[in-house]
Each structure stands twice: as structure tokens, then as C-alpha cells.
Amino acid sequence: MKSVSDNPEKREMFYEGKAKKLYATADPDLVIAYFKDDATAFNAKKKGTIEDKGVINNRMSELFFTLLEREGVKTHFVRRMNDREMLCKRLEIVPAETVVRNIVAGSMAKRLGREEGETLPFPIVEFYYKSDPLDDPLILPEHAIAFGWATEAELRAIRETALRVNRVLIDFLDQRGVILVDFKLEFGRHHGEILLGDEICPDTCRFWDKATRKKLDKDRFRRDLGDVEGAYQEMLRRVEN
């Protein structure tokens, strides 16, 4: 007997973000994520389009989620439905985005006056309040606990999972000639359990070529470096091999 997840009925769109649209299904526990080609930076102050970005990010997220599930990381991923759509478990998103940094880059370099490219002695986990009007400010774990965004136990589980994801992805990408500089993760609750959600792709990670340190991620769009589509396609080619 087939389950709803075998052929889910797409219903109303209940959320549209900068990179994805979310649709309800007949099963209240499942949603369909549609990956867009829209590109934004600096909290949507810069906008554009990256051709086939949605297709690439959907496929790459499937690969990474499948890899992480094999390594014992529980995620919202159910299956990729087609080029642009992914079936996922419905999450109540924890509004504390998690960033893991292995190398100084982006906002850390600006905030602390450090040279971009400086290797950190150990991975640093940061939390940011998920709020576009406030430009996603950096927060302490205590803020999340004090304002009821997450419990101490949830934050501990999120931190431990983020570091496990970091170890798995570093090893996987190193074998493919890619440095994992830093990345953003989102977590959510599903029947009381914390699961990894959102996506893992060049939109949410900084990937550098190991030999040349060429940027293979959205920084090419943010910084007008050119060949954005080529970088995304190159990253997909590497992770598929």
C-alpha cells in the first residue's frame, strides 16, 4: 500500500523565502520545498538571478542530506521529487541560525578585523537571530534561551550536530579538492525532535578550491566576481563524483 509520501498532493504555498517556496501537502507532517533561481545577498539588498541555481541546490542538498543521514545525522529530507522540488518533514524552525566557521571569511573578517583566509585553530560555532528586519544579528546562546527561541538542551544538540556535520563535510569535500570555509545551518522541531533542515549548497556554504582558493559559492555573486553559474556547476560536478 502506497503512503502519502509516495505521491504527495501539492497544496497551498504557505511560505516564500529568498531561495525557496514551501507548499503544504495532504499529510500535515510533510511539505514540498521548491528551489528558486532568485539570488539575494546582504539580506536581499542585492538581488539577481543565477541560472539553474534551484536545480543545482536541490540536487546538491539531496546529496549532502543523504550523506549526513548515512553518518547518523537526522534531517528533514525525505526525497527529491524532481529537478526543483524536494519532499521534506515539516519543521518548526528554531529562529537561531547556526554558522560553523573553519576559516576566517565574510562577516567574521569584517567584525573582528582579521585577514580573510586565516585558518582557525578549531571550528567556531556562532548563532544568529533569524530576522530579516534586524539583518540576522549575532547572538549569544543565552539570548536564545532567555527569549524562548530554544532550550539549553536544544542548543546543545544543535551545536553537537553542527560540529558533526562539519567533520563529515570536511572529509567528503577534501577528497574532492574543496575547502569547507564556513556554512550556515537551520534546525527545527519535528514531533519534539531536533532535525537539520533548510539546504546545504553554495548559497549556504563557502567552498574554496583546495589548490587555487578560487571561490565556488555565492560570494561570486555577492562580490561581483563573475562566473557564478560556472562555480555552482563545478561544485555540483565535484560532489557528484
Going by pLDDT thresholds of 50, 70 and 90, the confidence category of residue 3 is low
- CATH architecture for segment(s) 4-91: 2-Layer Sandwich (3.30)
CA 12 vs CA 5, 21, 23: distances in Å: 17, 10, 6
The fold of the 93-227 domain, in CATH, is D-amino Acid Aminotransferase; Chain A, domain 1 (3.30.470)
Q: Does residue 45 carry a pLDDT above 90?
A: no
- Give the whole-angstrom CA distance, residue 37 versus residue 198: 16
Each residue of 119-137: pLDDT tens digit? 999 999 999 999 999 999 9
- Give the whole-angstrom CA distance, residue 162 versus residue 193: 15
Q: How far apart are the first and last CA of the chain?
A: 35
Phi and psi dihedrals of 237, rounded to 5? -60, -40
* Grid cell 560555532 in the structure block, residue: 125
Beta bridge partners of 183: 100, 205
Each residue of 126-183: pLDDT tens digit? 999 999 999 999 999 999 999 999 999 999 999 999 999 999 999 999 999 999 999 9
Looking only at the bridges linking them, the beta strands covering 96-103 and 178-185 are antiparallel
Going by pLDDT thresholds of 50, 70 and 90, the confidence category of residue 7 is confident
Q: Cα 221 from chain centroid?
A: 17
- Contact predicate 32/85, CB 8 Å: yes
| Domain regions of the chain by residue span | 4-91, 93-227
> Taking the model in full, what pTM does it have?
0.94
pLDDT of 140 reads 98
